[in-house]
Structure 1
Amino acid sequence: MNLVPSFTLYADNRSNVPPQFVHIETISVRSRVNNWIIRPHRHPELFQILLLTRGGADMRLEGGSAQLEAPALTAIVPNAVHGYAFQTDAEGFVLSVSDAYLRDLLRAAGDQDATDAAAASSIIPLAGWGEVAVKIQAACERIAAESRRQRTGSQARIGSDLMLVFGLLAELGPDGRGTAPTDRGADALLFDRFRLLVEEHFRDQLPITAYATALATSERTLRRAVKARSGQTPLEILRQRILLEAQRDLLYSAMSVSEIAYGLGFEDQSYFSRFFANAAGQSPSRFRATHKSGWSGTVTD
């Protein structure tokens, strides 16, 4: 089976990243040796931020594409399929942090807005956020310096700058339009726990009652909290997560439709095909034929 590559870092297929793992490097370090093309891949255990300070890039994120022009920022959640074709004058930083470590930091900070900002991938133009871009670049430079020195207190300083970056990410909002503070409370906490549980078990075909039981709440309370935070029902969120993984497999693997269905917990391929067609508006085979393509990348100076 030809699956989309999963890397700890690009071209590094180690897994089980160490606790408190933080890695930062310039865009050119890995891109130059790969002809400025980072082909579609994913990081199962890492949250990754890319800050583009000069130049541009063509980007692939899941099934879509985007043009990046400096200054710009991308935030990539674990397992999101992404790739870049950079211009050869591109500059900036790639900051990777263990998802478990990041969640520990966010939990300790108790900032729901920052937690929400780390829950979804985003592409954010920074043309109107010059001061924020400068602050994020300065934080990246400090993290890089502390990573090289490894002096007493380095971990605390790095953790502080990580929180600064994610606080600014929350301020920017998912599209760079800014966000207002949100009400925090039990609903937000329950919703966050539900999303984490979905990520762990979406392949298991569990009913929503099982999620409610695991969260020590009623299905009614779970539905109310999820609806209040997202405007969707728990079942809609679960189905969207299954659909996303199915689309990833169809676009970035050579698995048959039946293999994809089985891997997502469907015992009946025809049921999976009906589920996919109802959600995506076309059959799995048609979706693959319409959207799948290789990517050599187009790099312009």
Structure 2
Amino acid sequence: MRKIPNYDLYGESARPPWFDAFNFEWIAERSRPNDWHIAAHRHDALLQILYIRSGSGHVVIESEKHAFSPPCVVVLPAQTVHGFVFSPDIDGLVITAAQRALESISKAVSPGLLPVIQRAAVIPVRASTGDDTLMPLFSLLEQEYRGNARGHIAAGMSLMIALFVQVARLSDAAAMPATSAVADRRSGQIKRFRELVATHFREHRAVDFYAEKLGITTAQLSRICRDELGHSPMSLVNQHLIREAQRDLVYSGLTIKQIAHALGFEDAAYFSRYFRKQTGATPKEFQAAAHTDLSLN
């Protein structure tokens, strides 16, 4: 079975998930030695945010290709499968930080930032906004990283929160909910629900299973998911299951039957019908189209 590479930084073995990492690089530093091509990989515990100032190329996020339209910001939360192709004239930077640490700080100061930190996105930026608002923050982040002074991790994480406030505004998320007991509780319930889905999705559990684990009713879980995420709980379970199926179809090298069984389907034919209902294409059709679309040659 061909596995998706898991790195700390691209080309380096993954460190333990508790490792408190903070890193600043200009994109060319790592992409030039790799012929401007960063193959699909993921980071278990690390978030990355890129600022593309000029140049061209694309990012693959899970099974979708997104062309760069500089200036733009790319957010890649931990565990997101991603890869890049850059043009040799690319001008941009990438910051890597511990996802869990950022989420903990966000919970304390602004829970409304959590969806921005936890969602992969390519966000357009006006040139004036990038130069006047983002670049001063990036410059300070680089200074903290390069200087390696006492407390540079703490300073860097604080600057990252300030940066994500600006990213939230760019993505029309300026109306962040006020810090409150209700907001904190709901944020924690959503996070816990996502963790439960990631653990149990292969078991094809009903919504009441997740509600019971969370200590709430099925109706409460449905209301929280619809209010906070705009989807039903089962829609989120299906999305997770389909995303894992798509990853395996694109990257694993397994047969469709093997993938179906690995995802908890006893019948490969039923898996194909389920996949088609959720995506509009059969697994074989999706796989062929994805391999064509994601060809990096």
Q: Name the TM-score, length of structure 2 as normaliser.
A: 0.89
Instruction: Name the structure 2 match of 1:71.
Output: 71
The alignment covers a number of residue pairs equal to: 292
Cα gap change, 1:145/1:65 in structure 2, threshold over 3 Å: closer, same or farther? same
CA contact (8 A) 1:39 1:295 kept: no
CA distance in structure 1 between the aligned counterparts of 2:264 and 2:132, rounded to whole angstroms? 46
User: What are the Cα deviations for residues 93-152 of structure 1, in whole angstroms up to 9, with x where unaligned?
Assistant: 11111222222121222x232111112110011126x23554333323322222233322
**2:167 equivalent among 160, 166, 169:** 169
| CA apart distance, 1:291 | 2.3
| CA apart distance, 1:182 | 4.1
Higher mean C-alpha deviation, range 263-272 or range 77-86: 263-272
The answer to whether the aligner puts 1:231 opposite 2:230 as a matched pair is yes
| CA apart distance, 1:49 | 0.6
Identical counterparts, % of pairs: 28
| CA apart distance, 1:44 | 2.3
CA distance in structure 2 between the aligned counterparts of 1:282 and 1:68, rounded to whole angstroms? 27
Cα gap change, 1:204/1:118 in structure 2, threshold over 3 Å: closer, same or farther? farther
SS at 1:241 equivalent: helix
The answer to whether the aligner puts 1:137 opposite 2:135 as a matched pair is yes
| CA apart distance, 1:215 | 1.4
CA distance in structure 2 between the aligned counterparts of 1:191 and 1:18, rounded to whole angstroms? 22
Higher mean C-alpha deviation, range 240-249 or range 186-195: 186-195
Listed as ranges, the matches of 1:16-165 within 5 Å are: 16-109=16-109, 111-127=110-126, 130-132=128-130, 134-165=132-163
SS at 1:118 equivalent: helix
Matched AA of 2:64: G
What value does the CA root-mean-square deviation take over the aligned residues? 2.2
Matched AA of 2:176: P
> Which runs of 5 or more structure 2 residues have no equivalent in the other structure?
none
| CA apart distance, 1:84 | 1.6
CA contact (8 A) 1:51 1:72 kept: yes
Q: Give the structure, 1 or 2, with the largest relative contact order (CA under 8 Å, sep 6 or more).
A: 1
| CA apart distance, 1:33 | 0.2
Q: Name the TM-score, length of structure 1 as normaliser.
A: 0.88
Instruction: Name the structure 1 match of 2:285.
Output: 286
User: What are the Cα deviations for residues 214-240 of structure 1, in whole angstroms up to 9, with x where unaligned?
Assistant: 212111111111112223210111101
| CA apart distance, 1:10 | 1.3
The answer to whether the aligner puts 1:180 opposite 2:175 as a matched pair is yes
CA distance in structure 2 between the aligned counterparts of 1:49 and 1:204, rounded to whole angstroms? 33
CA distance in structure 2 between the aligned counterparts of 1:58 and 1:258, rounded to whole angstroms? 32
| CA apart distance, 1:17 | 3.9
CA distance in structure 2 between the aligned counterparts of 1:282 and 1:14, rounded to whole angstroms? 34
CA distance in structure 1 between the aligned counterparts of 2:199 and 2:167, rounded to whole angstroms? 25
Cα gap change, 1:20/1:240 in structure 2, threshold over 3 Å: closer, same or farther? same
Cα gap change, 1:22/1:202 in structure 2, threshold over 3 Å: closer, same or farther? farther
CA contact (8 A) 1:71 1:133 kept: no
Higher mean C-alpha deviation, range 150-159 or range 242-251: 150-159
Cα gap change, 1:150/1:209 in structure 2, threshold over 3 Å: closer, same or farther? same
Matched AA of 1:239: N
| CA apart distance, 1:204 | 3.8
CA distance in structure 2 between the aligned counterparts of 1:97 and 1:265, rounded to whole angstroms? 34
Instruction: Name the structure 1 match of 2:213.
Output: 214
Matched AA of 1:291: A
SS at 2:175 equivalent: coil
CA contact (8 A) 1:132 1:168 kept: no
> Which runs of 5 or more structure 1 residues have no equivalent in the other structure?
none
The answer to whether the aligner puts 1:197 opposite 2:196 as a matched pair is yes
